[in-house]
């Protein structure tokens, strides 16, 4: 006969992944995951810049993206200062382009400009936001592997500082469009250095198997055996309507170590030196892209910008000396590392359900029912948003963390899974987290680190309205993107035929 035993929930759950530690105190915030001005106040409630989350719920409802303007600005400045310092003796400083794809609205674009950064865009829509914010054209970059003629024209109308050209065909198109307008397009070439970095590792391959950029490998289809990158340099310099500024690479996202950036920088500097030797072309700029990682869970340890900047500067300095070339002006494009930790998502808890799950086997599967089946509780905590406001767990298996925000609790930790309200069982917000056992409907949960690629990737799946974004600074709030209403949800629906 099978006997089912239950296990004391005060112990770590065997269902928890290895990396998830049982926290000593569930009320304590792990600071790398949070904006600098978020804390638990004397009443035990989560507060940002002194404003308790209950007030944010009252004023703006949930779900809600809560962004610390102070934190965003200080991270933006920290990148600029750290890279300026590290590269001061090499090229006089660094141009930092905030990657708007991570999160963009006109308020954020204006903070970026205030803090001395530039803005990297990747579509006509993002250029429109930049225009609405009044960002000067020369401080803008335009990316994209499939830019339309309209986007190229818009960039030229706005006099953007650089169009980052992704292919030979696009180079030709930009040259023609600029020439038809009797203008000159300022261009960078996006190269694929064969370095791809993801999370903790990077791999160097001979050839990048992906859609972006011009290959640096010398086995292109060119008759002379030139790489696509070299062909593009030669072609770019032959067009009177193109001013070639330099080369660019972006090796991946959510990267913690500097090695991948350093290797890519070395490869691009080799390329610049080769172009100089072969064609006497001196390209004055080198963009090393974005990709700096952040903490989503307590086990992530991002490096401070200064550490990464110094490691990259050391490579650029020694490589330029070795190649005997003048260092180009360096630029970078961080997105996630500036906006990610500035924001948390505030949700209200609804339905709770606890299931009992068999002990996992060594392979991680549930054990077959044996004679003494030990089961463990996993609690499903449903919140009033989900994959429509954070698609990253579904898209990338991304891990997040969560904390009870409306009050402190002394209750025992219980392994929980925070799920959304969508009609999909994969609609998971936080796969594994310990939350207090007494979390109840009506409580508020906060998920940190949601500033990047959450609102930006949000959808109206199941006709859910996308949440608003409220910015907090100096003890006051400002809605920088309002949440959608039912009217918004219906206003592109053209109605039934006889409406």
Backbone angles phi, psi at 351, to 5 degrees: -70, 140
Contact set for ligand LLP, span 141-160 (CB under 6 A): 143
H helix runs in 119-200, sequence order? 124-133, 149-157, 168-180
Q: Does 103 bind ligand LLP (CB under 6 A)?
A: no
Largest Cα–Cα separation, the chain: 86
Instruction: Note if 105 is an active site residue.
Output: no
Q: Does 19 bind ligand LLP (CB under 6 A)?
A: no
Q: Residue 186: which of 136, 263, 227, 239 has the closest Cα?
A: 239
**Least distance from C-beta 120 to ligand LLP, angstroms?**
6
**Least distance from C-beta 426 to ligand LLP, angstroms?**
17
**Which of 291, 302, 386, 483: binder of ligand LLP (CB under 6 A)?**
291
348 - beta bridge partners? 444
Burial readout 35-59 (b: 16 or more C-beta within 10 A, e: otherwise): bebbbbeeeebbbbbebbbbebbee
**Which of 37, 300, 333, 384: binder of ligand LLP (CB under 6 A)?**
333
Q: Residue 247: which of 215, 205, 280 has the closest Cα?
A: 215
> Whose Cβ is closer to ligand LLP: residue 289's or residue 302's?
289
Q: Residue 419: which of 380, 467, 463 has the closest Cα?
A: 380
Evaluate whether 344 touches 328 at the Cβ level (below 8 Å): no
- The catalytic residue among 91, 122, 249, 423 is 423
Instruction: Choose one: 166-174, 263-271, 284-292, 477-485; the region binding ligand LLP (CB under 6 A).
Output: 284-292
Element (DSSP H or E) covering residue 106:
helix 106-114
> Whose Cβ is closer to ligand LLP: residue 289's or residue 483's?
289
Q: Which two tokens stand for residue 52?
A: 């308790």
Q: Does 99 bind ligand LLP (CB under 6 A)?
A: yes
Please report how many Cα atoms fall inside a 13 Å half-sphere around the Cα of residue 206, on the Cβ side: 3
**Least distance from C-beta 428 to ligand LLP, angstroms?**
15
CA-CA-CA-CA torsion sign (449, 455, 461, 467): positive
Q: Does 196 bind ligand LLP (CB under 6 A)?
A: no
> Whose Cβ is closer to ligand LLP: residue 177's or residue 452's?
452
Q: Does 102 bind ligand LLP (CB under 6 A)?
A: yes
> Whose Cβ is closer to ligand LLP: residue 261's or residue 434's?
261
Alpha-carbon distance of 160 to 411, in angstroms, equals 56
CB proximity list for 210: less than 8 A, separation 6 or greater: 192, 196
Chain centre distance of CA 327 = 29
Q: Does 392 bind ligand LLP (CB under 6 A)?
A: yes
Contact set for ligand LLP, span 253-282 (CB under 6 A): 253-254
Q: Which two tokens stand for residue 432?
A: 């594994």
The conformation of residue 292, written as its DSSP 8-state character, comes to B
> Whose Cβ is closer to ligand LLP: residue 246's or residue 335's?
335
Q: Contacts with ligand LLP: how many residues (CB under 6 A)? A: 21
**Which of 80, 336, 378, 473: binder of ligand LLP (CB under 6 A)?**
336
Q: Does 290 bind ligand LLP (CB under 6 A)?
A: yes
Number of neighbours of residue 320 by Cβ within 10 angstroms: 18
> Whose Cβ is closer to ligand LLP: residue 335's or residue 436's?
335
**Which of 103, 239, 292, 347: binder of ligand LLP (CB under 6 A)?**
292
The conformation of residue 461, written as its DSSP 8-state character, comes to G
Q: Does 249 bind ligand LLP (CB under 6 A)?
A: no
> Whose Cβ is closer to ligand LLP: residue 253's or residue 388's?
253
**Which of 149, 351, 369, 396: binder of ligand LLP (CB under 6 A)?**
396
Q: Does 448 bind ligand LLP (CB under 6 A)?
A: no
Residue positions annotated with a catalytic role: 423
Q: Which residues bind ligand LLP (CB under 6 A)?
A: 99, 101-102, 120, 143, 250, 253-254, 289-292, 333-337, 392, 396, 452-453
């Amino acid at each position: 006969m099978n006997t089912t035993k239950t296990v004391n929930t005060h112990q770590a759950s065997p269902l928890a992944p290895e990396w998830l530690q049982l926290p000593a105190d569930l009320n304590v915030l792990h600071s790398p995951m949070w904006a600098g001005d978020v804390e638990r106040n004397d009443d035990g409630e989560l507060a940002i810049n002194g404003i308790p989350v209950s007030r944010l719920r009252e004023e703006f409802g949930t779900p809600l993206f809560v962004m610390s303007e102070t934190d965003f600005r200080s991270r933006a400045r920290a990148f600029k200062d750290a890279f300026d310092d590290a590269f001061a003796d090499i090229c006089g400083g660094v141009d930092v382009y905030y990657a708007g794809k991570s999160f963009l609205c006109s308020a954020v674009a204006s903070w970026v400009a205030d803090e001395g950064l530039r803005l990297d865009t990747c579509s006509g829509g993002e250029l429109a936001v930049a225009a609405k914010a009044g960002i000067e054209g020369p401080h803008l970059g335009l990316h994209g592997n499939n830019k339309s003629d309209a986007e190229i024209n818009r960039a030229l109308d706005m006099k953007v500082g650089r169009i980052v050209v992704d292919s030979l065909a696009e180079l030709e198109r930009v040259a023609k469009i600029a020439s038809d307008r009797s203008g000159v397009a300022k261009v960078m070439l996006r190269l694929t250095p064969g370095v791809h970095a993801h999370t903790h590792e990077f791999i160097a391959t001979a050839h990048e198997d992906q859609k972006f950029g011009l290959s640096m490998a010398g086995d292109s289809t060119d008759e002379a055996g030139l790489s696509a990158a070299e062909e593009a340099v030669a072609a770019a310099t032959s067009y009177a309507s193109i001013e070639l500024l330099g080369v660019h690479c972006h090796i991946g996202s959510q990267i913690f170590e500097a090695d991948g950036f350093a290797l890519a920088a070395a490869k691009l500097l080799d390329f610049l030196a080769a172009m100089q030797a072969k064609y006497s072309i001196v390209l004055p700029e080198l963009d090393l892209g974005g990709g700096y990682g952040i903490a989503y869970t307590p086990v992530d340890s991002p490096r401070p910008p200064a550490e990464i900047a110094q490691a990259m500067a050391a490579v650029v300095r020694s490589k330029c000396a070795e190649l005997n070339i003048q260092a180009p002006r360096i630029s970078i494009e961080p997105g996630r590392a500036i906006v990610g930790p500035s924001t948390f998502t505030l949700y209200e808890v609804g339905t709770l359900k606890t299931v009992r799950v068999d002990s996992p086997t060594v392979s991680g599967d549930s054990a077959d029912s044996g004679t003494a089946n030990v089961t463990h509780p996993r609690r499903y905590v449903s919140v009033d948003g989900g994959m429509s406001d954070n698609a990253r767990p579904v898209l990338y298996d991304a891990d997040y963390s969560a904390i009870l925000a409306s009050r402190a609790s002394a209750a025992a930790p219980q392994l929980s899974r925070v799920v959304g309200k969508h009609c999909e069982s994969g609609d998971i917000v936080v796969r594994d987290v310990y939350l207090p056992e007494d979390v109840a409907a009506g409580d508020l949960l906060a998920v940190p680190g949601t500033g990047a690629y959450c609102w930006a990737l949000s959808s109206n799946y199941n006709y859910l309205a996308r949440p608003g974004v409220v910015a907090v600074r100096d003890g006051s709030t400002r809605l920088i993107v309002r949440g959608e209403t039912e009217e918004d949800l219906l206003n592109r629906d053209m109605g039934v035929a006889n409406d």
